Amino acid sequence: MLVEYVDFNRDAGLADSEIPSFVLITEMTRVLGESSVGAAPSVSPLPRSNAQPSMWGLDFSCSETRCRQFSPEPVSAAELEFAACAARQAPAVCNRQFGRLHVFTDRSDIRKVLEIQGGATRFADEITGLAIVTTSLRSYWDDTQRNQAWVDGGLFAMSFIFGLHAQGLGSVSLNWSKSRRQTEDAECRSHFRRRGDHHAGRFRKASSRVSGRVLARVPLNETLHIRTLDSGN
């Protein structure tokens, strides 16, 4: 992918000195080899028919609303995995994937976590699943990308919410504004984007398969972590 990124910028007429992070990419290629940083097979053509508006339609997005009243029925592991798979499809800078879901389904654990959050008092006892969405600042090149974690994390969280909505599950987004001493930066989603343009007739995308192997998405067990407090898991 990085090799293709350099080639794309060169084809667009940029000098090597104008390509962002060119020196770092060149050094990675030298040390690791082209196959390690992603050579030509990491992109593939994508037809316009792949993005037809009839797939879901606007009604799907417009019908998703915040919910603060929940049934006592627990959220199943299969439902969580479905929503996590939707979250994995979220766009991220340079096609990197650093969004993680830390899910609590035990009522006692949920209450303890929400006591830290502090903004769900009225309906906390009704929540049967709580997901904390995180991204890692170690995932980015330097301090010029220091805000990118919020962008990538927000897109990841929104995709997770739509994954819940697609199954008829309600959710509410909770504010997380705690100090660094209290907890790592995170966003909470309970009950357990992307600039829009018309697609060109044909364009290139990051390929999810090389020689039949899925490459573009991290394994589900790295994205979704179902946790309990007492076990330390």
The DSSP line for 126-191 is G-S-EEEEE--GGGSSSGGGTTHHHHHHHHHHHHHHHHHHTTT--BEEE-----TTT--S-EEEE-
Confidence (pTM): 0.65
54 or 145: which leads in pLDDT: 145
9-26: per-residue pLDDT in tens? 888 888 888 888 888 888
In this prediction, residue 41 carries a pLDDT of 46
In this prediction, residue 55 carries a pLDDT of 52
114-140: per-residue pLDDT in tens? 888 877 877 888 888 999 888 877 777
pLDDT above 50 (res 167): yes
> Residue ranges per domain, the chain?
67-199+214-227
Architecture of domain 67-199+214-227: 3-Layer(aba) Sandwich (3.40)
In this prediction, residue 227 carries a pLDDT of 83
* Mean pLDDT along residues 102-117: 88
Integer Cα distance of 76 and 26 in angstroms: 46
